[in-house]
Amino acid sequence: MSSEVVIKAEHLSLTFETNDGPVHALQDVNLEIKRGEFVSFIGPSGCGKTTFLRVMADLEQPTGGSICVNGMTPAEARKARAYGYVFQAAGLYPWRTIGGNIRLPLEIMGIPKAEQAERVAKVLKLVHLEGFEKKFPWQLSGGMQQRASIARALAFDADLLLMDEPFGALDEIVRDHLNEQLLELWAETNKTICFVTHSIPEAVYLSTKIVVMSPRPGRVTDVIESTLPRERPLDIRETQEFLDIAHRVREGLRAGHGDE
Amino acid sequence: MKRLWNRFGPVITVVFGIIVLWYVMAVALNSAWTIDKLGRTGGELSVVEHIADTWSQDKPKLPAPHQVVAEIWKTTVQKSITSKRSLIYHAWITLSATLAGFGLGTVLGILLAVGIVHNKAMNLSVMPWVIASQTIPILAIAPMIIVVLNAIGVTGLLPKAIISMYLSFFPVVVGMVKGFRSPDQMQLDQMRTWYASKWQTFWKLRWPSSMPYLFTSLKIGVAAALVGTIVAELPTGAVRGLGARLLAGSYYGQTIQIWSALLMAASLAAGLVAIVSLVERFTLRRMGMLR
């Protein structure tokens, strides 16, 4: 793994002005993410984990500090289509087939037709949805729809994948399955993934680095480098090492809540 | 059979009820004339004869349904459609202006909605005028539009179509502004992450998302367009069109003619709305928005 830095945040802060006074969504966040890492952001709601992801994606503007994405500002990174973003809901267009939905960003980016078809086939294979290209979203289950939305984020082959609680609305069995597939996909594509979640097992199972955050003001309380191997079968979750990391995450979350 | 009854039963029942009520009202309203006539000529009528007379007068206050149907039959099937007495001929005059006005109104409505959604100044300034335009009674403004356009040499179908447009663009603007704004924040953010242009966001997201709103607006708009055309035919001494038939009927006390024109206008409106509904069902089903 190279040690090239993909994301670098320094003293990053973001304050929303609301009618009830300022809300400190992010305060003095310092973080470095290297190429090929799988980073989870975990914390209670209001801790700024989604806000941080949105800042990286240039969907929110920071009010202080600086952040680099692929050596660029977030705005430049967005223009360069340097990242794919997976939202909480699949957000597939009902009037487009699965293939058509995945093609959507490619059409917007003006990629030639022949190449579009090639890429759609490739990412459908990555998320194990071969044969569903001509189906409409309503013909697919929730888990399959979310996989299609991941395929759509992968279609234009950005190095960075930002995922905002993508499996939050799915049941646990489907979730386990998708987590496993996501790791597989990460191993195959070698992308850098930033993953927002509020599930401790999910964060520990997936990540090489876990960023624990706490609310009011939103800040990073702990950054845990996972010692788990990259190759992770589902039953790794019963090993002592796994439980130790999960314990440390829980401690970090509790510490963040302590000074309230 | 049962399924058919479930589907059409309620409609048939209501129509039957209306027809019964109509006959009863015809007796009530036309009796005075029957009694008056009897007073002048003398003689006596049984109840049955009395009722029959109220249903067969030449210029009744309220013509009975079968009289209207007979008149419609006489003026549609039994007349050549090029005849000035053919109701189909008049209906076509009105329909052509309605369709032109509806088309113009739809285009104008969509263009205004696009402007309102994409331009801050238009968003703040246009809507109040659009609403104000509808508070002016169309009956007051229609003759002026016709006269002004006549003065600059525009006659025939276009002035009527413009008045029809005036009524039909409104539901389209209101509906389409809502429709273009119907994509949620997540869908708009998604477009942003792909660095999509405003134009791309419009064609790939806003326009398809607005389809259900468009068809709802079109259904109201097409009925309003017909009303607009008929109103435009009323005050201007037009000699052709359903409006002209209504006006001529009321000049000469030809209630049967008025009612047959009214019924024709109503079926025209129903037909137009039904066509829009059909296109709507087909389109939305194809777009996977109707399931």
Residue A161 carries which side chain, given as an amino acid letter? L
CB contact, 8 Å: B40 with chain A?
A: no
Instruction: Provide the token pair at A16.
Output: 């929303």
- The CATH number linked to A194 is 3.40.50.300
Query: Under an 8 A CB cutoff, do A87 and B186 touch?
Result: yes
Of A88, A108, A156, the CB nearest to B200: A108
Co-location of A190 and A152 in the same domain? no
CB contact at 8 A, B229 and B94: yes
Q: Which two tokens stand for residue B111?
A: 């263009």
Please, are residues B52 and B246 in contact by the beta-carbon 8 Å criterion? no
- pLDDT on residue B86: 85
A46 & A105 share domain? no
Question: Is the CB of residue B282 less than 8 Å away from at least one CB of chain A?
Answer: no
- Are both A214 and A255 inside the same structural domain? yes
What's residue A260's pLDDT?
A: 44
CB burial of A229-247 (b: ≥16 within 10 Å; e: otherwise) equals: eeebeeeebeeeebeebbe
Please tell me the predicted confidence (pLDDT) of residue A94.
Answer: 92
Domain finish residue from A157, A173, A198? A157
Segment B14-25 shows an average pLDDT of: 94
Distance CA B114, CA B172 (A): 11
**Bridge pairing between strands A209-214 and A219-225:** antiparallel
Are A3 and A39 in the same domain? yes
Cis peptide before A217 (omega within 30 of 0): yes
pLDDT above 80: residue B37 = yes
Is there a domain that residue A222 lies in? yes
Four-residue CA torsion sign, B150, B152, B155, B159: negative
- DSSP 8-state assignment for residue A139: G
Of A37, A24, A11, A20, whose CA–CA distance to A225 is shortest?
A: A37
- pLDDT for position A3: 67
Structure tokens at B249: 């009927």
pLDDT for res B291: 61
How far apart, in whole angstroms, are the C-alpha atoms of residue B67 and residue B64?
5
Assigned domain for A71 exists = no
Q: Which two tokens stand for residue B56?
A: 């067969």
**Nearest alpha carbon to residue B62 among B10, B27, B90:** B27
B133 touching chain A per CB within 8 A: no
Q: Which of A61, A78, A92, A108 should we substitute to test contact with B (largest number of B Cβ atoms within 10 Å)?
A: A108
Do A238 and A196 have their domain in common?
yes
* Residue from the list A58, A81, A95 with its beta carbon closest to the beta carbon of B287: A95
Checking if the pLDDT of B232 tops 90, the result is: no
Look at chain B and count its residues.
Answer: 291
Sign of dihedral through CA atoms A173, A177, A183, A185? Answer: negative
Select from A157, A183, A218 the last residue of a domain.
A157
Burial of B79 (0-12, 13-18, 19+ CB in 10 A): middle
Residues of A in contact with B194 (CB under 8 A): 81, 104-105, 108-109, 156
**Number of structural domains found in chain A:** 2
- In a domain? residue A135: yes
Cα dist. B172→A124, A205, B107, B165, B253 in Å?
Answer: 40, 52, 9, 11, 38
Q: List the structure tokens of B245.
A: 């038939």
| Same-domain status, A253 and A169 | yes
Instruction: Please tell me the predicted confidence (pLDDT) of residue B237.
Output: 64
Residue type at A221 in one-letter notation = T
The reply to whether A44 falls in a domain is yes
Q: Kindly state whether residues A182 and A250 are assigned to the same domain.
A: yes
Other beta carbons within 10 angstroms of residue B142's beta carbon come to: 24
Asked if A88 and A171 sit in the same domain, the reply is: no
Please give, rounded to a whole number of angstroms, the shortest distance from the CA of B114 to a CA of chain A: 20
> To which residue do tokens 């309503």 refer?
A138
**pLDDT (0 to 100) of residue B98:** 95
pLDDT digit string, tens, across residues B238-288: 678 888 888 888 888 889 989 999 999 999 999 999 999 999 999 998 888
**Six token digits for residue A114:** 């022949």
Backbone angles phi, psi at B104, to 5 degrees: -60, -45
Domain boundary among A112, A140, A157: A157
What is the reported pLDDT for B288?
82
Interface contact A108-B186, CB threshold 8 A:
no
pLDDT surpassing 60 at residue B173: yes
The beta strands (E) that lie in chain B are given as: none
H or E element, residue A215:
none
Residue by residue, pLDDT tens for chain A (260 residues) are 456 888 999 999 999 888 888 888 898 899 999 999 999 999 888 888 899 999 999 999 999 889 999 889 999 999 999 999 999 888 899 999 999 999 999 999 999 999 999 999 999 988 889 899 999 999 999 889 999 999 999 898 888 999 999 888 788 888 888 888 889 889 888 899 999 998 898 999 999 999 999 888 888 888 988 888 888 888 888 899 899 999 999 988 887 765 44
Helices (H), B42-119: 47-54, 65-76, 87-118
CA dist., res. B33 & res. B57, Å (int) = 9
Give the strand order in the sheet containing A64-69.
A21-34, A5-18, A64-69
Tell me, yes or no, whether A175 and A123 share the same domain.
no
Residue A66 domain-assigned?
Answer: no
Please list, in sequence order, all residues whose beta carbon lies within 8 angstroms of the beta carbon of residue A130, skipping any fewer than 6 positions away: A121, A124
Residue A69 lies in a domain: no
pLDDT of residue A1: 44
What is the CA A85 to chain-centroid distance, rounded?
Answer: 7
Q: Nearest chain B residue to A92 by CA: give it.
A: B187
Question: How confident is residue B105, by pLDDT bands cut at 50, 70 and 90?
Answer: very high
Do A230 and A171 have their domain in common? yes
Residues A99 and A44 in one domain: no
- Rounded Cα distance, A164 and A171, in Å: 17
Distance CA B226, CA B232 (A): 10
Range of the domain at A39: 1-56+163-260
In the DSSP assignment, the letter for residue B278 is H
In a shared domain, residues A139 and A15: no
Does a structural domain hold residue A249? yes
Residues forming beta bridges with residue A227, ordered by sequence position = none
Q: Are strands A192-197 and A38-42 parallel, antiparallel or unpaired?
A: parallel
Give CA–CA dist B269/B98, Å, rounded. 10
**Domain contains A76:** no
Task: Give the model confidence (pLDDT) of B42-85 as tens digits.
Answer: 777 888 888 888 898 888 889 999 999 998 998 888 887 777 78
> Tell me, what amino acid is at B87?
L
Average pLDDT over residues B215-221: 95
Residues B34 and B53: their CA atoms lie apart, in Å, by: 7
Residues 6+ positions from A46 with CB-CB distance below 8 Å: A215, A216, A218
Q: How many CB pairs under 8 A join A and B?
A: 51
